[in-house]
Chains A and B, each alone.
Chain A
């Protein structure tokens, strides 16, 4: 029998039992709520496009906080030795941590659905961009969590894991601005790995299979690298 449900239960409980998850959720909702209210009163348009971009930037900052401890703490306290010497697969350990972190992200996103509810109650929002925006955020956070786990699996220091993850995310988010400075074909190459370039269509209501493929591929790459980082011992 797979150990995944047992590991997932332990990871989810550990995340939701720590004050970190609640602090992160509270700050996220506070900032999102402030922006939503301000935008609604100033522009009086029933759209969430700007909120999706803000949420994406907040996730760039939040995900390192969620993933930094996942492996780094277990490595530092030695409990990783318990997990890796139990008859469980490395992939189950990584997947459990990934899904538990995604549960926190999903909670945050689910709570922002109230904004969509408010728009529906007082206006006539176009639901297409809202669906695609949430899908884009889910895919983006999955990729960020997977990459964050890889970094965490490579170090025993939580601060190092957080700083390196944050740096990596910011580079991947803003790298498209570098693209305009580069000659062909390097500009296209840089654009092809930009998180912002692949997220923008989702936020604005356009869904492309290539963008879905990009985030899914990035998530799978992150998970694969995390498993490899654990196996390298």
Chain B
């Protein structure tokens, strides 16, 4: 029986690959395929090697937790509605069109007909329903699940026809179309059995054989050598064509070389062994700049990204166990003290010395990378030690010699935590320490292994101040909910806060709750503008800067359009092509 089954599989594979070859030549015949208009038509062939660190952990899009794994998996999978990384707008992907109900609570998506997974198996509404069932299943513990929960309730997914799926939200949801982005559609025919047996998390590990893997993305798995490389090859069944009717992707192979150290990555890029490097630090950008002509590569500065770095004060209320911390909180809780610290910090200096001017000072958590949402009226705190001193004096602080004393006559002194593995943040801490010294504040910098530091910030709350950075996954206010609202998991300065009615935090909570269900863009923008005003005025944390997204690529690569959200240069890997004749790379 088993034997017959495998025979059947081989036969199926032969038939499918034959179909594949046929499909390739006849690509333009299927009107359901997505025609890519924005990209220039390229030539087929060649391979592209990219340095990757650390090693991707699995080929399972359901359970992948970390960024490097996601970066590889996004090249191999596809979603229903996609956010175009260059424009920031949603566009059709596996769903060719969709309609929303008037109350904004139900969405009906029409799927492309006659398209196939990378193993040749057909794709239809059952795959979509299966995929969402997996993501939403509590037992599977997919990290994506939180994204698909709206107001603590899951969305409901129903099949509305062989190529049509209906999604119902528990509430009207402002950013509904964006929810579908990056939720990879899974092949039901390969994973249903694992799912039924409760072994989905273990399926598709790094040692999976390429025959047992399938997706809807531009590339499919060819070979994975542990610790060394992951080789992806062109998916012959991919559902996009260019304006000339050629089937995408252009590249034959996309190779991720595992290069553990950042410096080695730069060196290998410069040696030409890898042809794309992203992200790049400002220092390495400067070091690579002089050789652009001679080594035939181009560097890109895509402008500020989504990352916001800030100096965090511990304002948690459950710190009674730690008298040392409580002592410092008396200062931190005074908004004038926080404003004074904010004014004492030389943000332009940070930008210049640490990022070589390739970063932007910040007023709030909304970076200039959030083009649609930043409030240009909110100014970045000016660097003025004199005004900072004045503010502190008005708050009852005084100086003896060079040292700042509080109203009770105690010297102002605290520790700033920084991650040992992030050189940039510990450099920021060093400069801030020096800036605060000018104000008479004695700050100690303690670098600590990142997870230990997080444990203090998130769980034990035994810390005084810290340098942190967070990054939003999307150009939309919704990912900021967790940071701004008082019960959010990233409300790091005061976790599980219960804001007094009428306080600014209470206002933030209600503004964020309103924007979530406001469907009108202009009204939503207004609400979010107000959030930024409050954040800048009350300085719950001292916002510092947002680094630019920097990248480099071989000069012969066509259709490169750096983005600031994910993968930076590889987001449109299906459109990349070699301008020089294929085979030279």
**A associates with B:** no
Which B residues are within 8 Å of any A CB, using their own CB?
A: none
Which A residues are within 8 Å of any B CB, using their own CB?
A: none
